[in-house]
Amino acid sequence: MTTNNTADSNTTSNEQTPDEQSVRSEVRTWLEQNWDPNLTLLEWRKKLIDSGWGVPAWPKEWHGRGLTIGLGDAVDDELRKMGAVSVAKTGVRMLAAATILEHGTDMHKAKFLYPLLTGEDTWCQLFSEPGSGSDLAGLTTRADFDGENWIFNGQKVWTTSAHHAKWGMVLARSNWDLPKHQGMTYFLIDMEQPGVEVRPLRQMNGHASFNEIFFTDAKIAPEFMVSKEGNGWKVAMTTLAHERRLADGIRSWGRGDKGSGRVYDEQKAEIATVMEPYKWYPQRAGRVDLLIERAKATGKYDDPTVRQAIAKVLIMAKAAEWTGRRVKAAHALGRQPGPEGSLGKLAGSQVARLAAQAHTLIAGADAMLTSEDGAMDGLISEILISVPAESIAGGTDEIQRNIISERGLGMPKEPRTDVDRPFRDVPRNTVG
Amino acid sequence: MQYTFSDEQEEFRLIVRRFMDDKSPTTEVRELMATDQGYDKAVWKQLSQELGLPGIHIPEAYGGQGFGFIELCIVMEEMGRALLCAPFFSATALAATAIMSAGTEEQKLALLPDIASGETLAALAYNESSGHWDPASTALTATPSDDGYVLNGGKSFVVDGHVADLLIAVARTPGTSGIYGLSLFSLEGKGEGVKRRLLQSLDPTRKLAQIEFDNAPATLLGELDAGGTTLPHILDLAAVALASESVGSAQKMLESSIEYALLRMQFGRLIGSFQAIKHKCADMFLEVELAKSAAYYAASAAAEQTPDFPAVASLAKACASDTYMKAAQECIQIHGGIGFTWENDTHLYFKRAKSSEVFLGDPNYHRDQLVLRWED
Ligand SMILES: Cc1cc2nc3c(=O)[nH]c(=O)nc-3n(C[C@H](O)[C@H](O)[C@H](O)COP(=O)(O)OP(=O)(O)OC[C@H]3O[C@@H](n4cnc5c(N)ncnc54)[C@H](O)[C@@H]3O)c2cc1C
């Protein structure tokens, strides 16, 4: 994450932007004077946020210092070195923050950003529906204005953390007579109200990391609309762009700071709750890191066919990782993300599949067992039954290929019949 | 060589399919997979008494139906299609086949009728916790005793071993190595010195057990030290039976994919109208048909005992395992997110595909065997 900081600051520095060394020494000095592991997590985070070092890349008027992303990373690096706990950054809250910063009103910013950073408020994202996944813009959750409030009815699915979220980012259809992309509106919804029912959704790997959400006359006051009516698609695109960019950070499981003191204990508890749904995510990506170790431990290392299988995974995984780094490095220099972003996702699916194959070869008969009887206490079997998610979650492989060919390679889109007419006239699923 | 099924065989397949449709809907599969026993006694009784399936390839002289290996494979294929939870593969395809191949006339007369009637559940205890599929890796020992032999050591991955009344175990004479000194033994599942434990299996529809033998009295099945010649054939037959099951399941994955593609709409049209999905289905169709042909050919080669049988058994196993695994993966993919949920049935098939992929040797192993055994 921090390997390219030097390059960042060298190329982006000018008169207005402080150089990396001075930023680093300034934050170090501040930490030396203020960091105290015996504070409560809340006390410490308030202090950090008030100093502007919590989210230095955010605007000055909203808890930040207006620094570049590269310098922000340098500040985080200093916090890490000191062992200081950062602001709450886990889970989907950072997507909410990014969306609110870009499209929210001052009221939204004042009300939501602070408790989001302290960790007091947890957020969830309510986009996917049983009837519309790839075709997100085909969603049918309805928002109807009753003269006082927006009334919500419909169903959402695949919502992480909804069971403990205070707030949700929700996209709903407010106009059925306009073409699909123009009839959606983006809201911030209070999840703790009677019209919102949250049910866990169990996956094929046994975990229930997601929820189904049922809205029955749930209410949202007009001031919680983000941007304006009918502009929901554009706002949602902002959220999704940040989701792609922040994917690794959101899901990094259990990356707590090491140390002893009250603040660490409280952070550990927070991570355990917020990150619980993500604990199998590394397995879903195929656990390439375990392949050589496992091959050696099982004696399969001596089998040339196993080595070939592992080599194929490593070639794909490494080349994909470096592609990802190219994208990140370019982004840190302020360049617009290109179609390479979609390549990483597609490559990741293949890595996961190949890795599962290699893990199967290595495990042999043990691939038939799970839990305590399985290899590595069931970790290997969890890989085998989690990888199918990789080519679906966050946009399927087929959709990625469409995006890559159409947007990346400039190939013509297939003729569409769903965008040129009122949404109510577009054929759609009656059930999910 | 029989390249297509006779009218009688097709009719028989329909009868079996109707029974499976009726008795093994996935709601039933889900209930049974959650139990330790893993099967429904009443259904097993019906399947035995009404259809005589447990004795399908057992000669009439031993109380069976007297059909051949092709009919056994038809049953396996239909059971794979329905993901039936029952001790058929273990008792009939594995254990009865072993007894038929290795037992003496007297032993066949004594053991087979109760398996054929479904009253005795038998299991083949062959693999050990080392996980090797090569018979030479057998470590369980059989030491002569006053009235037979005693077994010492362990077996693992024994299909339905936890409920089996009769165990057929592969063991070696102490001091021997490789494929020499291997023999088959029969003993009671609940016998003295036998400790069984149900393993937690990735595919909950197929139960696996670990068995410890501590001076467990056992009877020699057939000739002493003949395992080196009988076992490879028994395992080849088992591989073809499993390949048949896999193609049945793979066919189901294809049908389920098409069905969903013709139901699900995105972007105002059926997902089955997207070329990406159509091509996937066409590829899956190609692979499933190829795997079927391989399994059918191998079943026929088994029935006719042709010289190419060992090679084509491995060919069919490797081909069917890969095809089923891929079909299950694609079926999930075509279902999108719903395919990854517990509620959707695809994962039941996916897990069976994963366990069948490695059971009796993974595709790598069988590809290797295929080439080593190939004769022009
Ligand atoms: C583990 C997991 C985590 C998830 N997490 C989240 C989350 O955090 N937030 C969230 O909002 N959603 C989440 N999802 C939902 C996910 O985004 C959707 O499942 C995904 O976008 C696919 O949508 P769908 O399930 O409706 O499938 P569908 O869109 O119905 O797709 C079915 C099949 O049709 C294909 N298809 C669809 N359109 C086309 C086309 N134009 N061309 C070719 N093929 C096409 C698809 O590729 C797929 O194979 C998650 C899903 C999973 C499995």
Q: What is the pLDDT of residues B24-83, one digit of tens each?
A: 999 999 999 999 999 999 999 999 999 999 999 999 999 999 999 999 999 999 999 999
pLDDT at A6 over 50: no
- Considering the domain B7-120 in this protein, what is its CATH number? 1.10.540.10
A128 within some domain: yes
The reply to whether domains B123-225 and B229-375 share a CATH topology is no
Which region holds residue A71: left if phi is over 0, alpha if psi is between -120 and 50, else beta?
alpha
Residue with tokens 């094929």: A204
Q: Which own/partner pairs from B198-201 qualify as long-range (CB within 8 Å, at least 24 positions apart)? A: B198/B36, B198/B162, B199/A369, B199/A373, B199/B156, B199/B157, B200/A369, B200/A370, B200/A371, B200/A372, B200/A373, B200/A374, B200/A378, B201/A368, B201/A369, B201/A370, B201/A373, B201/B355
Q: How far is the CA of A126 from the centre of ligand 1 (A)?
A: 14
Answer yes or no: do A101 and A208 share one domain.
Answer: no
Q: Is A308 in the pocket of ligand 1 (CB under 6 A)?
A: no
Q: Is the model more confident about B266 or about A328? A: B266
Partner B contacted by A364 (CB < 8 A): yes
Per-residue model confidence as pLDDT tens digits over B261-309: 999 999 999 999 999 999 999 999 999 999 999 999 999 999 999 999 9
Three-state DSSP string of chain B: CCCCCCHHHHHHHHHHHHHHHHHCCHHHHHHHHCCCCCCCHHHHHHHHHCCCHHHCCCCHHHCCCCCCHHHHHHHHHHHHHHCCCCCHHHHHHHHHHHHHHHCCHHHHHHHHHHHHCCCCCEEEECCCCCCCCCHHHCCCEEEEECCEEEEEEEEEEEECCCCCCEEEEEEECCCCCCCCCEEEEEEECCCCCEEEEECCECCCCCCEEEEEEEEEEEEEECCCCCHHHHHHHHHHHHHHHHHHHHHHHHHHHHHHHHHHHCCCEECCEEHHHCHHHHHHHHHHHHHHHHHHHHHHHHHHHHHHCCCCHHHHHHHHHHHHHHHHHHHHHHHHHHHHHHHHECCCCHHHHHHHHHHHHHCCCCHHHHHHHHHHHCCC
Q: Is B307 in the pocket of ligand 1 (CB under 6 A)?
A: no
Do residue A128 and residue B337 have CB atoms under 8 angstroms apart?
Answer: yes
- pLDDT at position A243, please? 82
Do residue A371 and residue B200 have CB atoms under 8 angstroms apart?
Answer: yes
| Residue to mutate, A392, A411, A419, ligand 1, most ligand atoms under 8 Å from C-beta | A392
Partner B contacted by A368 (CB < 8 A): yes
CB neighbours of A302 closer than 8 A, spacing ≥ 6? Answer: none
Per-residue model confidence as pLDDT tens digits over A246-282: 765 555 544 567 788 899 989 888 888 888 888 899 9
Q: How far is the CA of B339 from the centre of ligand 1 (A)?
A: 10
Do residue A426 and residue B337 have CB atoms under 8 angstroms apart?
Answer: no
User: Domain range for residue A371?
Assistant: 280-395
HSE-up of residue A137 (Cα within 13 Å, Cβ side) = 20
Strand A225-226 and strand A184-190: the pairing is: antiparallel
pTM for the full predicted model: 0.94
CATH of the domain at A70: 1.10.540.10
| Residue to mutate, A94, A126, A127, A128, ligand 1, most ligand atoms under 8 Å from C-beta | A128
Chain A residues with CB-CB distance to B358 below 8 A: 360, 363-365, 367-368
Residue with tokens 């360049």: A335
Answer yes or no: do A369 and A338 share one domain.
Answer: yes
**Strand partners of residue A211:** A200
Chain A residues with CB-CB distance to B127 below 8 A: 365
A427 within some domain: no
Partner B contacted by A146 (CB < 8 A): no
Confidence of residue A91 (pLDDT cuts 50, 70, 90): confident
Q: Find the mean pLDDT for residues A403-428.
A: 93
Q: How far is the CA of B340 from the centre of ligand 1 (A)?
A: 10
Q: How far is the CA of B330 from the centre of ligand 1 (A)?
A: 14
Which of A283, A251, A279, A309 has its CA nearest to residue A383? A283
Do residue A363 and residue B267 have CB atoms under 8 angstroms apart?
Answer: no
Residues A204, B348: Cα–Cα separation, whole Å: 8
Residue A131 Cα: closest atom of ligand 1: 26
Cα angle vertex A300, ends A296, A303, to 5°? 125
- For residue B224, what are its two tokens? 């002493």
CATH of the domain at A187: 2.40.110.10
Q: What is the mean pLDDT of chain A?
A: 91
Do residue B127 and residue A128 have CB atoms under 8 angstroms apart?
Answer: no
HSE-up of residue A411 (Cα within 13 Å, Cβ side) = 9
Partner B contacted by A138 (CB < 8 A): yes
Chain A residues with CB-CB distance to B359 below 8 A: 365, 368
Answer yes or no: do A50 and A155 share one domain.
Answer: no
Give the closest-approach CA distance of B242 to chain A in angstroms. Answer: 15
Answer yes or no: do A223 and A145 share one domain.
Answer: yes
- pLDDT at position A14, please? 46
Residues of B with CB under 8 A from a CB of A: 127, 131-133, 156-157, 199-203, 208, 264-269, 274, 276-277, 329, 332-333, 336-344, 346-347, 350-351, 354-355, 357-359, 362, 364, 368
Answer yes or no: do A150 and A107 share one domain.
Answer: no
Among the candidates A88, A115, A142, a domain finishes at: A115
What sign for the dihedral angle of Cα B72, B73, B77, B78?
Answer: negative
Answer yes or no: do A295 and A330 share one domain.
Answer: yes
- pLDDT at position A250, please? 57
Q: Is B117 in the pocket of ligand 1 (CB under 6 A)?
A: no
Cα angle vertex A230, ends A226, A236, to 5°? 55
Greatest Cα-to-Cα distance within chain B, rounded to the nearest angstrom: 78
Do residue B268 and residue A204 have CB atoms under 8 angstroms apart?
Answer: no
Nearest CB to B341; choose among A201, A384, A428: A201
Answer yes or no: do A287 and A389 share one domain.
Answer: yes
A239 within some domain: no
Answer yes or no: do A111 and A135 share one domain.
Answer: no
Confidence of residue A5 (pLDDT cuts 50, 70, 90): very low
Residues B188, B166: Cα–Cα separation, whole Å: 5
- pLDDT at position A62, please? 97
Residues A85, A258: Cα–Cα separation, whole Å: 9
pLDDT at A9 over 50: no
Residues A178, B14: Cα–Cα separation, whole Å: 52
- The topology under which CATH files domain B229-375 is Butyryl-CoA Dehydrogenase, subunit A; domain 3 (1.20.140)
Per-residue pLDDT of chain B (376 residues; tens, 9 = 90+): 889 999 999 999 999 999 999 999 999 999 999 999 999 999 999 999 999 999 999 999 999 999 999 999 999 999 999 999 999 999 999 999 999 999 999 999 999 999 999 999 999 999 999 999 999 999 999 999 999 999 999 999 999 999 999 999 999 999 999 999 999 999 999 999 999 999 999 999 999 999 999 999 999 999 999 999 999 999 999 999 999 999 999 999 999 999 999 999 999 999 999 999 999 999 999 999 999 999 999 999 999 999 999 999 999 999 999 999 999 999 999 999 999 999 999 999 999 999 999 999 999 999 999 999 998 7
Coil/strand/helix, residue A188: strand
- pLDDT at position A3, please? 38
pLDDT at A341 over 70: no
Residue A135 Cα: closest atom of ligand 1: 29
Residue B275 Cα: closest atom of ligand 1: 43
Residues A158, B338: Cα–Cα separation, whole Å: 10
- pLDDT at position B103, please? 98
A410 within some domain: no
Residue with tokens 């005793």: B145
**How many CB atoms sit inside 10 A of residue A410's CB?**
8
Answer yes or no: do A46 and A146 share one domain.
Answer: no
User: Which sequence spans correspond to the domains of chain B?
Assistant: 7-120, 123-225, 229-375
Looking at residue A104, what DSSP letter applies?
-
**How many CB atoms sit inside 10 A of residue B148's CB?**
15
Q: Is A158 in the pocket of ligand 1 (CB under 6 A)?
A: yes
Q: Find the mean pLDDT for residues A145-162.
A: 96
The terminus-to-terminus CA distance of chain B in angstroms comes to 17
In this structure, whether the domain defined by B123-225 belongs to CATH 3.30.300.10 is answered with no
Q: What are phi and psi of B360, to 5 degrees?
A: 65, 20
Partner B contacted by A428 (CB < 8 A): yes
Residues A345, A313: Cα–Cα separation, whole Å: 15
What's the number of domains chain A is made of? Answer: 3
Answer yes or no: do A285 and A191 share one domain.
Answer: no
Answer yes or no: do A133 and A91 share one domain.
Answer: no
Do the Cβ atoms of B259 and B292 come closer than 8 Å? no
- pLDDT at position A255, please? 59
Mutate to test the interface with A, among B36, B266, B362 (most CBs of A within 10 A): B266
